[in-house]
Amino acid sequence: MTIDADPTAPAPFPADSIWLNGPYAPVADELDAPDLRVTGTLPAGLRGSFLRNGPNPAFAPLGRYHLFDGDGMIHALDLDGSGSARYRNRWIRSAGFEAEIAAGQALFGGLSDFRLPPQEILETVGGMKNTANTHIVSHAGRILALMEAARPMELGADLSTVGEYDYDGRLQGGMTAHPKLDPNTGELVFFGYSPFPPFVRVHTAAPDGTLTWSTPVELPGAVMMHDFVVTATKVIIFDLPAAFDVQAMLTGGEGIRWEPERGARIGVLERGAPGDSIRWVEADPFWVFHFLNGHDDGDAVVVTGCRAPRLNTSFGEEALTEAIVPTLHRWRVDPVAGTLTEEQLDDRPGDFPRLDDRRSGLDARFGYLARAETWDAEEVIFDGVVKHDLRTGTSTSTTYGSDALSGEPVFTPNPDGTAEDDGWILNWVTDRTTLESACVVLDAETLEEVARIHAPRRVPFGFHGSFVPDVGLA
Ligand SMILES: [Fe+2]
């Protein structure tokens, strides 16, 4: 398959937005590309589909654009173990997306420039577009594309959009983009947050998709909550002072404000218990977008995550006028004793933490973070991977190249292996000069490159993904 487009040609979007140009620029096509060029040798054990979600707006924004605003697009790599690879990409066709396609232009505003759509769209679709642009997971035979504070969007095996999924009408509110799969029980544990009381609900879906636990967790006020932690027995909720104000958002004010005077609290709730039995431990204000993992330790829980001193709430281009750097931290929270300890595990900036999902909620040894070559007031450039050995406190790292922009390192286990780090790390990497993209496969034990799957054209920078070995994509 040949793509004639010039990969360095400017996108038909505002030239002054970094999020709409260069390696971030959306692509305008949906491709089916078999037999990709592969450098190196794809491992025979790497069989399945690597699905990655990310923002890809179909139309120029009405106002200020933030990376969080774009329409979701899935980039899929299908690997059959024979050494060949197939690429496909598809937009997530939400009702809001389809309304914009019909109108031929954007109808909804964004996080930093919220606007209600025209009245007829407001009445049929609602005031917000479910972009479903953040993550994609597979559970109970369904492929779910996720954004926080919206319903999951179910996709078919051919990546076509089925529609919003509400667990047979039982899911109240939205679903985080970061649900946790319990490797022992096969349950999917998740939460949803809302600008209206009770602000947070926690849920469990059984392996067959039945919603078996839903409980409200009361907070003093609405806060933004991107991620949480699940252990074998507990759910840990982080009430951090990123105040969410839908009224202000609707009237052109700051929808999310950093209010450190509210303090921060970490809540520990037994799985299956009523939400009002959650036990809170006070903390000094901090912010975390992404947690690596958590596990039980007696009455306590041990949590690892990428801690930043605060959230930059501007969510516009101004987001890069101040360096707010996340680094890997570990907390030990004992809700019975009411104690909290915290330690920094690394002083290098990093985010997008992943692990072997078969160790999720357990005392996992290894974690993989997107390494940031640059994280300053001007820009953030992820260029590699840092592998942490949480048992020994040591780490190793690698870069995808001096001009590379990479993203989340998704660990994929070797189905024939036994060691926790016997597997591969998959990551979409774009050369910032040529704007050519490849999915790079690293040996997770050594961080050495074993294969590079060349995309037929650039794959924009995105958010989260999953390797699904058993989904049988069409
Ligand atoms: Fe995320």
* Residue pLDDT, tens place only, 57-88: 999 999 888 889 999 999 999 999 999 999 99
pLDDT at 9: 62
CA–centroid distance, 306 to ligand 1, in Å, is 11
CA–centroid distance, 86 to ligand 1, in Å, is 26
Across the range 239-267, mean pLDDT stands at 89
| Residue 308 φ then ψ, to 5° | -115, 155
CA–centroid distance, 290 to ligand 1, in Å, is 6
CA–centroid distance, 289 to ligand 1, in Å, is 6
Taking a C-beta distance cutoff of 8 angstroms, is the pair 358, 414 a contact? Answer: no
* pTM confidence score: 0.95
Taking a C-beta distance cutoff of 8 angstroms, is the pair 161, 93 a contact? Answer: yes
Taking a C-beta distance cutoff of 8 angstroms, is the pair 87, 76 a contact? Answer: yes
CA–centroid distance, 119 to ligand 1, in Å, is 32
Contacts of 143 (CB under 8 A, 6+ apart): 51, 136, 137, 154, 155, 156, 157, 159, 468, 471
CA–centroid distance, 134 to ligand 1, in Å, is 6
Nearest residue to 461 via CA among 29, 182, 56, 97:
56
CA–centroid distance, 176 to ligand 1, in Å, is 9
- Dihedral sign for Cα 120, 124, 126, 131, please: negative
Nearest residue to 35 via CA among 465, 466, 467, 454:
454
CA–centroid distance, 94 to ligand 1, in Å, is 20
Across the range 321-342, mean pLDDT stands at 92
pLDDT at 2: 44
CA–centroid distance, 351 to ligand 1, in Å, is 9
| Average pLDDT score over the chain | 93
Across the range 330-347, mean pLDDT stands at 98
CA–centroid distance, 120 to ligand 1, in Å, is 32
Q: Which pair of tokens denotes residue 11?
A: 């996108």
From the CA atom positions of the chain, what is the Rg in Å? 21
Place of tokens 């779910």: 144
Q: Which residue has the higher pLDDT, 169 or 323?
A: 169
Taking a C-beta distance cutoff of 8 angstroms, is the pair 411, 427 a contact? Answer: no
pLDDT at 316: 47
118-139 pLDDT tens trace: 999 999 999 889 999 999 999 9
CA–centroid distance, 37 to ligand 1, in Å, is 30
- Dihedral sign for Cα 170, 172, 176, 182, please: negative
CA atoms lying within 13 Å on the CB side of residue 188: 22
CA–centroid distance, 137 to ligand 1, in Å, is 13
220 burial via Cβ count (<10 Å: 0-12, 13-18, 19+): exposed
CA–centroid distance, 227 to ligand 1, in Å, is 7
Lowest-confidence region among 103-112, 155-164, 392-401: 103-112
Place of tokens 């697009």: 73
Predicted confidence band of residue 236 (pLDDT cuts 50, 70, 90): very high
CA–centroid distance, 193 to ligand 1, in Å, is 14
CA–centroid distance, 226 to ligand 1, in Å, is 6
CA–centroid distance, 40 to ligand 1, in Å, is 31
Predicted confidence band of residue 1 (pLDDT cuts 50, 70, 90): very low
385, β-bridge pairs: 370, 398
CA–centroid distance, 104 to ligand 1, in Å, is 30
| Core vs surface per residue 190-212: b (16+ CB within 10 A) or e | bbbbbbeebbbbbbbbeeeeebe
